[in-house]
Chains A and B, each alone.
Chain A
C-alpha cells in the first residue's frame, strides 16, 4: 500500500528580496538602478520521509527550522523548489484561530462556509451539523454573528468543524492549548479516538511532553535538515539535550 504522505528529497528555496518591493514605482526604480538583488534562503534541504496510514507523527524543532514550510507543502498551498510531495488522502487542517471564518456571519453560516472551504459539500455538512454544534457546545449562540464570540468559542467551533467530518489526515499546528481545561481534555479525547479509528495525525509543536503523549514517532527538523527521525521519546530527549547545550 502507498504511504499516505510521501516526501521525497524535498528542498524549498525562498527568494528573499533584500529590500521589500511592494509598489510598482519601487520595482521600476530598482530595476533601472539594478538594485533588484535577491538572496536565497533555503527553508528545507533535501528532506525525505514518509508517513504510513494511521501513524501519529510529530514535527519538532525551534522557530525557523522549516516546520511550517513543511506543513504548507503538505497542505498544497506551496510547491517545492525541488523534489516531490505526495499526499494520498484528504486533509483536515486545524488552522489558525479565525482563518476561514467570517466574523459578520453567524455560527450556523460559518459552519457551512468553513466546511465548503475545507472541501466538503453541503450535504455532508448538513449531516454533521448537529454533531458539530453539540461538540462545540454552541447551541445557545448558533444564530449570533461570531464577531461577538470569545476566542475560546471560535477555537471550539474551528476544532469541531475540522474534526467532525472524517478526513484521512489531521494536521494540528499547536492549538491544543486553546480553550479552557475541560475543552482541551475533550479535544484530546477526540484526537485519540480519531487515531484509534485510523486517522493519520501530523502534529507540530515545541511542547515535547504533548508530543510524547500523542505521537509514537517524531521528526526533528533543524535549519531545514532532518536531524533525527524515530521513536518520539528518543528524538525528544536528544532534541532537548541539544537545546540545553545551545
Chain B
C-alpha cells in the first residue's frame, strides 16, 4: 500500500508545488494588459481609496497614515485571498483526486504559496510608500520577513482547516465569507486599536492578525524592535493554527473521496 505514496520524493514534491503555483500565477493575470504589474498597482490604488475615505469621513489620528494602511492591508489581503483560494482547492480538484493518487494537502498549500508570491510583489508598493512619505529607515526593517513568515504558516493552517471542512459541509463556504468580513473589522487595518473601547481592545489583542500586523508595523513604520512577548505570541498562534489545520485535514482527508 505504501509503495506509491513513498514515490513522492523531494524533487517530485518541488516540481508538483512549482507547477501548481505557476498555474495560479499564470491564470491570475492572463489576458490582462498590465499583468504582474497589477500586484504592485492594486495595493497602491486600494490604499489611496481608503486614505481618501478615512481622511475625509472618519478621521483617525495616526502618524504616516498611508504606510499604516498599506502595511495592514497587504497582510490582511494576503490572509483573505489565500484562505479563500484554499477553501475551494479540494473541491476544484475533485475529478483528479478521484482518479489518481496525489497528496491532497498540496492543493490548499500551493494556493497559499502562490498568494504569498503575489504578496511579495506588493512589498515593492510598500517600499514606494516608504520612499514617498520619507520615513526614516531603521535597521529593524531588515526583519520584515519574520512576521510574513508567521503569517504564511498561519494561513497554511487556516487553508488546511477550511478546505477540508468545506468538502464535508459546503456551508463552510458561505459561512467563511461572513467570517472574513467580521475578521477584517476585528483587525485594526484602517483604525488604531486605541479607537475601540478597552474591553474590545483586549479581545482584539487575541486576534492573530492583529499580532502579525503589529509586528510588521513596529518594524517598518515605527522602527522599533517588538518585545519578546509579541514575537512569542505570534509564533505560538501561527504554530497552534497550523497544528489544528494539519490535524483536522489529516482526519478528514480519508473521507474526501465520498464528497467530491
> Chain A interface (Cβ within 8 Å of chain B)?
14, 22-25, 27, 72, 75-79, 84-91, 93, 95-96, 98-100, 102, 104-105, 109, 112-113, 115-123, 125
Q: How far is the CB of A109 from chain B (nearest CB, A)?
A: 7
Q: How far is the CB of B162 from chain A (nearest CB, A)?
A: 14
Contact B30 A104 (CB under 8 A): yes
Q: How far is the CB of B14 from chain A (nearest CB, A)?
A: 8
25 residue pairs of the A-B complex, CB under 8 angstroms, read A23-B169, A23-B171, A24-B171, A27-B169, A72-B257, A75-B99, A76-B4, A77-B99, A77-B101, A77-B257, A79-B254, A86-B3, A87-B1, A89-B3, A91-B101, A93-B99, A99-B96, A99-B98, A102-B27, A109-B23, A113-B20, A116-B18, A117-B16, A119-B7, A121-B12
Contact B97 A121 (CB under 8 A): no
Q: Which 4 A-B pairs have the closest CB atoms?
A: A76-B101, A116-B19, A121-B15, A95-B99
Q: Provide the B1-35 mask, 1 if CB < 8 A to any CB of A, else 0.
A: 10111011001101110111011001100100000
Closest to A100 in B: B96
Query: Number of A-B pairs whose CB atoms are under 8 Å?
Result: 102
Contact A77 to B100, CB < 8 A, known contacts A88-B3, A90-B7, A121-B12: yes
> Chain B interface (Cβ within 8 Å of chain A)?
1, 3-5, 7-8, 11-12, 14-16, 18-20, 22-23, 26-27, 30, 95-102, 169-171, 254, 257-258
**Cα distance A170–B167 in the bound complex, in angstroms:** 30
Q: How far is the CB of A2 from chain B (nearest CB, A)?
A: 10
| Main SS class of interface, B | helix
Instruction: Choose from A27, A88, A95, A112 the contact partner of B100 (Cβ within 8 Å).
Output: A95
**Cα distance A86–B5 in the bound complex, in angstroms:** 12
Collect the chain B residues with CB atoms within 8 Å of residue A116's CB. Answer: 12, 15-16, 18-20
Collect the chain A residues with CB atoms within 8 Å of residue B254's CB. Answer: 79
Instruction: Choose from B5, B23, B95 the contact partner of A99 (Cβ within 8 Å).
Output: B95
Most buried by B among A25, A95, A99, A123: A99
Q: How far is the CB of A120 from chain B (nearest CB, A)?
A: 7
Closest to A90 in B: B7
Contact A96 B169 (CB under 8 A): no
Contact B170 A22 (CB under 8 A): yes
Closest to B30 in A: A104
